[in-house]
Structure 1
Amino acid sequence: MSTTPTRWPAEDLWLEIAPRLPGFTVEVLPEIDSTNTELMRRARSGQVDPIVLVAESQTAGRGRLGRQWINQPGDCLMYSLGLMLQPADWSGLSLVVGLSIAESLQATADAHTARIGVKWPNDLWLWDGRKLAGTLIETANVPVDVLAPAHGRGPGPARFVILGTGINVCPPPSRSDALSTPVACLQDLDPRWTAPLALQRLLPRLVEDVLLFADHGLAPFVERFAQRDVLRGRAVHLSDGSQGVAEGIATDGSLLLRTPQGLRPVISGDVSVRPIDMALPTARP
């Protein structure tokens, strides 16, 4: 854990993103309970301007299915991006977020260098089965008297969406053998990675991809996702006790699971998916 004050590229990010997201702000806090929780509180009180909230430490960080996100200051990049969206269909947003971050952190995906993939529906894994990052997506209904522009052309009501991500940057201070999924970090790939550098690399593209999703749905991302899909072709088991072979994703973002009874779509929800053989294959060209 470093004691040197962290220098965040807040102004650079604001200059790059604000033209696409009018009213956008960048806020960095030394400590908070949870960046997602804080943006949820603000949204419910009517604060819905686009924002990225970064925390150097979280005391009550959360992941999918109610899991706790554990961190020490300096070990992780932890942020939440909040903005108003009105897509035609919300299905597949989590895949877009994971895919966008994976592509930003590692631009190429070939058999020799690609090591970052997306484990459906949005976790980032290395190809050897270790977890690098996780995302929690939440939406908030805003007060009826708040009139805020939303991105997308969907028929339903606009909502404030919060995209919270935690990315391991440094090796964990203690062994993670007891965790159900082994842990990886960006410095496993390149020791020059820092949390500010990762944020600067991924945030502008994430904003662009989320806005593209709001306008066009999942369709522009399906082929891209296939290049980063760490489960495709793997035998997997689900938390509901079923098993099958992952066969990619459907156009609505559901996981396609091949079983003896045929091809079954699996919706994210509360279902957890794990490879039966944790030794994942090398990256596909």
Structure 2
Amino acid sequence: MTAIKHQNWNTESLYGVLQRLLPGISIEVLARCESTNSALLERVKSESRSGERQSYGRRAHDMQPCLLVAEHQTHGRGRLGRAWLSAPDNSLTFSLALNLSPSDWSGLSLAVGCAIADAIEPADKLNSPPRLTLKWPNDIWLDGRKLGGILIETVTAGEGRMVVIGVGLNISELSAGTDSEAQDSAALFNTGFAALNELLPNCTAPSALALIAPALVQCLLDFQQNGFAPWSAAYARRDLTLGRNVTAGNVEGISRGVSAQGELLLQTPQGLVAISGGEVSVRLAAATDSSACVRQGS
């Protein structure tokens, strides 16, 4: 097993920024864990069952927001049970958990994708079509290749619900090295995935987190008050499928963007069909874009 080279995450500085937005938040960095989403979900479930828990040094009965970062995530999860492969030094894998109570959860993954993309590639600095695009409902692409994904899960927490937002991004091209897990990851990467340092040279996982985490927290606070509607224009600007022939489950049609609730709108011979999510996987039609075959989980 390859030894993990620990990075400087500048947690004190990041904490200073985040706690002004979200008082009570904690930041934890683990050298290795199976899944940051699973770890945070299990904490909430354990506390809900027993009122206290044993976990990573956090206080018993602590249901405050938490940003959990893994330098190496060994069993990352994506939508529909897919695996998310990553490697130390080459990936950013983290989850943010907080209590959230929006009137409508629809479109949350789209808003999160917009917030991440705008943090990395600010919309006000674009002089051409964006290099970062969003593939409904939870993928982030760079220059026509998959850069990362978002996994959103919720769990009952007391009288409300806690949402866990998991994010995985490729930072640099994966090298196989001697670790079997790294070799598997590198083999998948070479099938057409993108890395963030293609857009931001010399980018590291800590520097990417410093850009993304404050934007993500602000997005969630805004979403709780206003839902997806304020993000619709930002999403349309980065919509990878807009105007293209796509399939969503058993439905095939031309993408007409998304509705005010974040539903994917497909123009079919039978009329306009709204795809709301759930057990749906969207793929660009092979005849339109042969690069869209995605093997890594999202």
Classify the TM-score, shorter chain: 0.7 to 0.9
Structure 1 position 243 matched with structure 2 position 249: no
Going from structure 1 to structure 2, the CA distance change for 1:122 and 1:236 (only over 3 Å counts) comes to: same
Structure 1 residue 251: deviation in Å? 0.8
Contact 1:133 1:168 in 2 (8 A): yes
Question: AA paired with 2:67?
Answer: V
Looking at structure 2, the residues matched to 223 and 25 of structure 1 have their Cα atoms a distance apart, in angstroms, of 32
Any idea what SS the aligned residue of 2:21 has?
coil
Quote the residue 1:171 is aligned against: 173
Looking at structure 2, the residues matched to 66 and 268 of structure 1 have their Cα atoms a distance apart, in angstroms, of 15
Any idea what SS the aligned residue of 1:52 has?
strand
Of residues 133, 137, 157, the one that matches 2:152 is 137
For residues 45-60 of structure 1, the aligned pairs below 5 Å read 45-46=46-47, 47-60=62-75
Structure 1 residue 113: deviation in Å? 6.6
Any idea what SS the aligned residue of 1:133 has?
strand
Structure 2: stretches of 5+ with no match in the other structure: 48-61, 176-185, 292-298
Any idea what SS the aligned residue of 2:40 has?
helix
TM-score (norm 1): 0.87
For residues 26-105 of structure 1, the aligned pairs below 5 Å read 26-46=27-47, 47-105=62-120
Structure 1 residue 207: deviation in Å? 0.5
Deviations 1:211-232 (A, max 9, x none): 0000111111111111111111
Question: AA paired with 1:261?
Answer: Q
Looking at structure 2, the residues matched to 279 and 206 of structure 1 have their Cα atoms a distance apart, in angstroms, of 32
Looking at structure 2, the residues matched to 2 and 23 of structure 1 have their Cα atoms a distance apart, in angstroms, of 33
Looking at structure 1, the residues matched to 215 and 209 of structure 2 have their Cα atoms a distance apart, in angstroms, of 10
Of residues 214, 221, 236, the one that matches 1:211 is 221
Looking at structure 2, the residues matched to 11 and 278 of structure 1 have their Cα atoms a distance apart, in angstroms, of 44
Structure 1 residue 114: deviation in Å? 2.4
Contact 1:127 1:230 in 2 (8 A): no
Quote the residue 1:116 is aligned against: 132
Contact 1:77 1:169 in 2 (8 A): yes
Going from structure 1 to structure 2, the CA distance change for 1:36 and 1:3 (only over 3 Å counts) comes to: closer
Question: AA paired with 2:99?
Answer: M
Question: AA paired with 2:196?
Answer: L
Structure 1 residue 75: deviation in Å? 1.1
Structure 1 position 19 matched with structure 2 position 48: no
Quote the residue 2:160 is aligned against: 158
Quote the residue 1:152 is aligned against: none
Looking at structure 1, the residues matched to 10 and 164 of structure 2 have their Cα atoms a distance apart, in angstroms, of 21
More off after superposition, 206-215 vs 270-279:
270-279
Contact 2:6 2:31 in 1 (8 A): no
Contact 2:147 2:193 in 1 (8 A): yes
Deviations 1:55-90 (A, max 9, x none): 001121101110111111111000000000011011
Looking at structure 1, the residues matched to 70 and 240 of structure 2 have their Cα atoms a distance apart, in angstroms, of 29
Going from structure 1 to structure 2, the CA distance change for 1:64 and 1:228 (only over 3 Å counts) comes to: same
Q: How many residues were matched structurally?
A: 263
Measured on the aligned residues, the alpha-carbon RMSD in Å equals 2.0
Quote the residue 1:272 is aligned against: 281
Quote the residue 1:149 is aligned against: none
Deviations 1:72-119 (A, max 9, x none): 111100000000001101111111111110111111374647210111
More off after superposition, 32-41 vs 186-195:
186-195
Quote the residue 1:8 is aligned against: 9
Structure 1 position 253 matched with structure 2 position 262: yes
Looking at structure 1, the residues matched to 246 and 127 of structure 2 have their Cα atoms a distance apart, in angstroms, of 22
The structure with more helix, counted as a fraction of residues: 2
